[in-house]
Amino acid sequence: MNYNIALLRGDGIGPEIVDSACRVLDKIGEKYGHKFNYTPYLMGGCAIDATGVPLPQETIDGCLASDSVLLGAVGGPKWDTLPGHLRPEKGLLGIRAALGLYTNIRPAKLYASLSAESPLRADISARGIDLVMFRELIGGIYFGERGRSEDGLTAYDTEKYSTYEIERIAHAAFKAARLRRKKVTSIDKANVLESSRLWRETVHKVAAEYPDVTCEDMLVDNAAMQLVKNPAQFDVIVTSNIFGDILSDEASQITGSIGLLPSASIGDSTRGLYEPIHGSAPDIAGTGKANPIATILSAAMMLRYAFALETEARAIEKAVDDVLAAGHRTGDILGASTVTPLSCVEMTDKIIEAIC
């Protein structure tokens, strides 16, 4: 099967880590009989330099015509002083909107071989962390009506959700749970917020269509506590834009290795945007020190969610597990290890070897 992937390499370490992910995809293609075709487009600082804008129309058109989009990262000090509408990050928001990506998926996993990096107490981290958060991305308070009174002394933002918006992300979460440990935790503030009460009712209606998946509700304040007290209890979490924004950062921190974490943003079509959660790391760009794992795991998410290639996705995830368990490290995840850190290319080579 042929798959056309739009590449947004971006800035800083973006080109290095995206190229690593493509090499891993090519290995998967060779092993399982797929062909991945790549077309690069400009976005972020590199697009500003070449065209004057962070998200050229050609990039939007190319992404819309592709089967999926793989992104490195954008931004850097060179563009920090530009006005807001011309900043590289504007490209990110623009491409998410243009592709209608309403679900942000962020797995948070603690690798057994890196458990010492978790800031949690050893007896808690020993029980493991392997969860995936589904955050609603284009609704709620970040997009609701906002304003200030005439005297400027009062301001408001509005949290607003329709059943349609809740249903579509709930379905995505329940479908994902079916491929995992079959449990969904829906996080809200239904004891206070009307929008949360609608969220809860709607999630329960969707849950009835997935009788094989356990569904539980949790208030957001309790969830913030449970994530540090007993993260092993979570499988799939589904929540609103603002709660997901905060909790997904908490979830990634407790794994102790944000440099390893991938993400996906998806909408109604199978096309999505796959990217590491970290930024463009301008401090190490061009030194070969970038850890490619978060981007390689983002490519695995693309195989799973965009192309329904579950076996192939798991092959990449297992290769990463195996390479870390064998003690191979890039500089950012050395911890107390005394091994010589691998370069971006060397770590990619190890992962490709492990797929053989």
Could you list the residues that contact ligand NAD (CB under 6 A)? 13, 73-76, 89, 92, 259, 275, 278-284, 290-291, 294, 332
Question: What are the φ/ψ torsions at residue 237 (nearest 5 degrees)?
Answer: -110, 135
Which one from 27, 90, 109, 189 is the annotated catalytic residue?
A: 189
What's the min distance (Å) between Cβ of 253 and ligand NAD? Answer: 13
Task: Tell me, yes or no, if 350 is annotated catalytic.
Answer: no
Structure tokens at 71: 């992104």
What gap in Å lies between CA 93 and CA 157, rounded to an integer?
20
**Closer CB to ligand NAD, residue 185 or residue 280?**
280
* Residue owning tokens 């060179």: 78
What's the min distance (Å) between Cβ of 282 and ligand NAD? Answer: 6
**Closer CB to ligand NAD, residue 233 or residue 343?**
343
Structure tokens at 233: 């209890």
**Closer CB to ligand NAD, residue 70 or residue 290?**
290
What gap in Å lies between CA 328 and CA 79, rounded to an integer?
35
Tell me 77's DSSP state: G
What's the min distance (Å) between Cβ of 277 and ligand NAD? Answer: 7
**Closer CB to ligand NAD, residue 213 or residue 273?**
273
What's the min distance (Å) between Cβ of 259 and ligand NAD? Answer: 4
What's the min distance (Å) between Cβ of 222 and ligand NAD? Answer: 29
Element (H, E) at 4: strand 2-10
What's the min distance (Å) between Cβ of 75 and ligand NAD? Answer: 3
What's the min distance (Å) between Cβ of 97 and ligand NAD? Answer: 15
Structure tokens at 170: 């709930």
**Closer CB to ligand NAD, residue 46 or residue 110?**
46
Task: Tell me, yes or no, if 245 is annotated catalytic.
Answer: yes
What gap in Å lies between CA 333 and CA 329, rounded to an integer?
6
Contact 234, 248 (CB under 8 A): no
Task: Tell me, yes or no, if 189 is annotated catalytic.
Answer: yes
Task: Tell me, yes or no, if 161 is annotated catalytic.
Answer: no
List, as one string, the DSSP characters of 207-245.
HTT-TTSEEEEEEHHHHHHHHHH-GGG-SEEEE-HHHHH
Which one from 61, 80, 221, 283 is the annotated catalytic residue?
A: 221
Task: Tell me, yes or no, if 175 is annotated catalytic.
Answer: no
Contact 40, 7 (CB under 8 A): yes
Is 135 in a helix, a strand, or coil?
strand
Which one from 249, 268, 283, 318 is the annotated catalytic residue?
A: 249
What gap in Å lies between CA 302 and CA 25, rounded to an integer?
10
* DSSP β-ladder status, 146-148 and 155-157: antiparallel
What gap in Å lies between CA 72 and CA 299, rounded to an integer?
11
**Closer CB to ligand NAD, residue 13 or residue 46?**
13
- The set of residues, in sequence order, having a beta carbon less than 8 Å from that of 163 and lying 6+ positions away, is 198, 202
Contact 280, 76 (CB under 8 A): yes
β-bridge mates for residue 217, sequence order: 186
Structure tokens at 285: 């760009």
Which one from 142, 160, 183, 349 is the annotated catalytic residue?
A: 142
Structure tokens at 212: 């094989």
**Closer CB to ligand NAD, residue 234 or residue 274?**
274
Which one from 157, 245, 321, 349 is the annotated catalytic residue?
A: 245
Catalytically annotated residues: 142, 189, 221, 245, 249
